[in-house]
Amino acid sequence: MIETIKTEAEISQCAEIMISSEPWLRLGTTFAEAVATLKDPDNHTYIANTKEGPAGFVTITLKGSLPGYIKRIAVKEEYRSTQIGEKLMQFAEELIFPITKNVFLCVSDFNYGAVRFYNRLGYEKIGEIKDYIIPGSSEIIMRKTKGPLKM
């Protein structure tokens, strides 16, 4: 079941999922930074719960210069390859596409598995920001589109 994140416990659990996996380990993301992202009122975070507890989450923003931006997605290691990530992405897209014709995200260039995952879901590289978060690495800007904003 995917639902809005509600409790401090869920926020802490999602922050732990995030900081214990790539790319956030390599990027040096702290627990406090993860919690701040999850609590940011401009973001909407949704948690994928199982009988055993949270399996992953997705955070989106619907405001700003890129409305329809998937800001964060993380899946616990033991739930990878179980379609939790695909379900979270589909859930995010179902929220975003009625509002805008484009879904955007960034992925670290060293996160090869995530790049393959997004490509498989129909996302295309549209740009690159070099040395944006850490030196020597780029953030790849990706987009999935249903067409131009104006037709």
Residue 35 corresponds to which tokens in the numbers above? 């919690």
Q: Give residue 81's pLDDT.
A: 85
Query: Phi/psi at 115 (nearest 5 deg)?
Result: -60, -45
Q: Give residue 65's pLDDT.
A: 83
Q: Give residue 19's pLDDT.
A: 95
Beta bridge partners of 145: 102
Please give the domain boundaries of the chain with CATH numbers for all domains: 2-103 (3.40.630.30)
- As a whole number of angstroms, the distance between CA 128 and CA 90 comes to 24
Residue 138 corresponds to which tokens in the numbers above? 């780029």
Residues 99-141 pLDDT 10s = 999 999 999 999 999 999 999 999 999 999 999 999 999 999 9
pLDDT of 67 strictly over 90 = no
Q: What is the pTM of this model?
A: 0.93
- As a whole number of angstroms, the distance between CA 43 and CA 66 comes to 13
Q: Give residue 63's pLDDT.
A: 87
Q: Judge contact between 136 and 129, C-beta under 8 A.
A: no
The DSSP secondary-structure symbol of 83 reads T
